[in-house]
Amino acid sequence: MVPSKPEEVVTVDVSQAKTLLLSDHQYLDVRTEEEFRRGHCVAPKILNVPYMLSTPQGRVKNPNFLDQVSSLLSPTDDILVGCQSGARSLNATSELVAAGYKKVRNIGGGYLAWVDQSFPINKEQQQSAN
């Protein structure tokens, strides 16, 4: 058996990502639930599976990340992975590629780049003080 080399992670910019999301790609947001609730990209198909979890000791890798993703998405699905700035999504994409996901891409710049382009976002409504 030939040792496998790390698969190349494909990164797309947010403009490409926006176009792909409108053409039936699944958006996998790997930020924490708190970050997701504060605001996320508008996409027809969006899931939030945190790659890192917030704990009293700081952030730790979600030990169930692959299991959670595989319960929601197939290795043959077209998937775009995004986070806040592009670092966690790059790690998550790399892990998914290594696990056999064939059509997964990282979104370079993440949510911050999406916001910088003034692309549409969803924010959960905050309770008003009125």
Residue 83 known to be catalytic: yes
How much is the CA Rg of the chain, to the nearest whole Å? 15
Instruction: From the candidates 83, 96, 97, 104, give the one annotated as an active-site residue.
Output: 83
Token output for 61: 């890798």
Token output for 93: 């994409």
Where b means 16+ CB within 10 Å and e means fewer, 90-123 reads: bbbbbbbbeeebeebbbbbbbbebbeeeebeeee
For the annotated catalytic residues, the residue numbers are 83
